[in-house]
Structure 1
Amino acid sequence: MDDKLCERLRTAAEAYRPDRERMLARVERGMAEGPSARTPLGPLPWLRVVGATAAVCGVLAVGAYAATSAGGGQTRGGQAAVSPVPSASASAQAAPGRVPELRTEDGPLWADGAVDPHSNAYWAQSNVTLRTTQPLSSLTVELRIAQTGGVNTTGSWRSLPEQDFTVSVQEEGGFLVYRWTLKPGRTVPAGTHTFAGQYNHAEGDRSADGDYFTANAARSTGQQVSVGDNFTSDH
């Protein structure tokens, strides 16, 4: 808006054409009347227009410079608008990983996870292997398959007796989750045991980098132990 006003004033000043003959006649008349009768001449009309233009533009320029220098940015509501500086806590955003920190051994319990070598471009099986050196009075195994496209269950199995476990499969937070829970009063004997989840997936080699499992158990003494692992094979 300020630049447009200055431009309009400059245009008006440049368009002004002084009456030269009238100006000369006024000067000659003043000289003939003598110094005592002569009225002091004010600024000529075209000089007044040019002077006003320069004064207005100068004030606007100084005001804009002062506001910009004080605020470091554009003005808003008569005050300089200063851009906020983001705090360190707001700018530091760590993207949480999908796989938690896991350990493959805890007390008598050891675990491993692997994609079955018989998996193909349309179907896969993920195997969870548990080995315990002591009987377990409780056990919950969770196998999480990341939804990478077209993932849906085709079944599951375990090497331990079927009647000893409650089994469920459902979608949770972007994962297909297989869950095996030991029924109350049952016991997992010492030894090596397998839990497997089977599923279809989108055609092609599927990355299992986002898949993982956890196993939470209790010894016969009541002490809690937990293990887990992630899958890194591509099928």
Structure 2
Amino acid sequence: MRTPHDELRAGLREAAEAYEPDRARILARVERGMAAGPEEKHTRRRATRPPLLAWARVAGATAAVSGILAMGGYALASAVKSDETPADPTVSVSPLPTPSPDATSRAPIQPAPDPSGGNAQDEEPSSTPTPTPTPTPKASNTASAPAAKGTEDGPLWSDGSVDPHSNDFWAQSNVTIKSSEQLTSLTVELRIALTGGVTSAGAWRSAPEGDFELTVAERDDFLVYTWVLKEGHTVQPGEWVFAGQYDHTRGGRDAKDDTYAVTAEAAGQQLAVKGDFAGQDDNDESDEGDS
């Protein structure tokens, strides 16, 4: 593609090539100069000097204008060329952001074009309610145990009592069980009513410690101790004690609201027992009877 600068140069070149000097006029002037005397030559030289200076000025101005035109043409050609230069045919497209999975872990669905000409994105997509997953029930070794009816069930016997070593500031409640058969599962729960400033002070059991998992928590206005036999472990026939220790405000504490519950399995049979603890009135009556 020819730029304006190239066209200007081509025009000047064509004008220079088309120029033809007037030889007859040049020879006539030379002959007149040779025939004239010294004074006439000096006078003619002086007379012709101004036209030469004027011609030099005209030539200089023409050159300056030509230079300005050439520079302007070059600048214009450069601008036109930069405007007409095609961009890089390789188009860089930024990748779409990776959408975060929603609650149903489904990929987002692109809206379909609206046949009526509207914008489908303006319409709220219908959402299908996600069903709330049902939590998997935790396996329990007492899930199918029958409701306890008393302190004795088949080979399993139980009793609840406040340890005689308890004092005015501290107490210990004992759950004693006896079994004539081996137990393949066992859960003992001791519930101490949160009365008289009760706070947990520890727990122990006469069975091997490594065979049980112990949790202590406050629930429904009770301090609850729970011992659960670990899977794969057994409890041999015999008598076993599970004790919960707690602090309380000064003075004797009434244990009439405290309870316990035991579930177990022996020879494939589900067993359950429960009981409570003697209150102060019962203890007082027992002491008077003994006296």
TM-score (normalizing by structure 1)? 0.56
Matches within 5 A, 1:136-215: 136-215=183-262
Q: 1:110 aligns with which of 146, 157, 164?
A: 157
Structure with the higher fraction of residues in helix conformation: 2
Aligned residues: 135
**Separation (CA, whole Å) in 2 of partners of 1:152 and 1:226:** 28
**Separation (CA, whole Å) in 1 of partners of 2:168 and 2:279:** 13
Matches within 5 A, 1:39-54: none
Structure 2 residue matching 1:193: 3-state secondary structure: strand
Residue identity opposite 1:149 in structure 2: G
The 1:207–1:226 alpha-carbon spacing in structure 2 relative to 1, beyond 3 Å, is same
> Which structure 2 residue ranges, 5 or more long, are not aligned?
1-146, 284-291
> Which structure 1 residue ranges, 5 or more long, are not aligned?
1-99
- Asked whether the 8 Å contact 1:102–1:229 carries over to 2, the reply is no
**Separation (CA, whole Å) in 2 of partners of 1:122 and 1:179:** 23
Residue identity opposite 1:136 in structure 2: L
- Asked whether the 8 Å contact 2:148–2:272 carries over to 1, the reply is no
Matches within 5 A, 1:1-235: 102-219=149-266, 221-234=267-280
Deviations 1:52-94 (A, max 9, x none): xxxxxxxxxxxxxxxxxxxxxxxxxxxxxxxxxxxxxxxxxxx
- Asked whether the 8 Å contact 2:203–2:244 carries over to 1, the reply is yes
**Separation (CA, whole Å) in 1 of partners of 2:216 and 2:268:** 28
RMSD after superposition: 1.6
**Separation (CA, whole Å) in 2 of partners of 1:200 and 1:128:** 18
**Separation (CA, whole Å) in 2 of partners of 1:199 and 1:133:** 31
Deviations 1:184-234 (A, max 9, x none): 000000000000000001211110000010100011x32100111100143
Q: Give the C-alpha shift of residue 149 in structure 1.
A: 2.6
In terms of Rg, which structure is larger? 2
Structure 2 residue matching 1:188: 3-state secondary structure: coil
- Asked whether the 8 Å contact 1:158–1:194 carries over to 2, the reply is yes
Residue identity opposite 1:229 in structure 2: G
Residue identity opposite 2:245 in structure 1: Q
Q: Give the C-alpha shift of residue 102 in structure 1.
A: 4.6
| Seq. identity, % | 54
**Separation (CA, whole Å) in 2 of partners of 1:179 and 1:157:** 11
Residue identity opposite 1:151 in structure 2: V
Task: State the match for 2:29 in structure 1.
Answer: none
Task: State the match for 1:50 in structure 2.
Answer: none
The 1:211–1:179 alpha-carbon spacing in structure 2 relative to 1, beyond 3 Å, is same
- Asked whether the 8 Å contact 1:115–1:233 carries over to 2, the reply is no
Residue identity opposite 2:213 in structure 1: T
**Separation (CA, whole Å) in 1 of partners of 2:155 and 2:212:** 21
**Separation (CA, whole Å) in 1 of partners of 2:218 and 2:207:** 24
Residue identity opposite 2:182 in structure 1: P
Structure 2 residue matching 1:163: 3-state secondary structure: helix
Structure 1 residue matching 2:184: 3-state secondary structure: strand
**Separation (CA, whole Å) in 2 of partners of 1:118 and 1:228:** 24
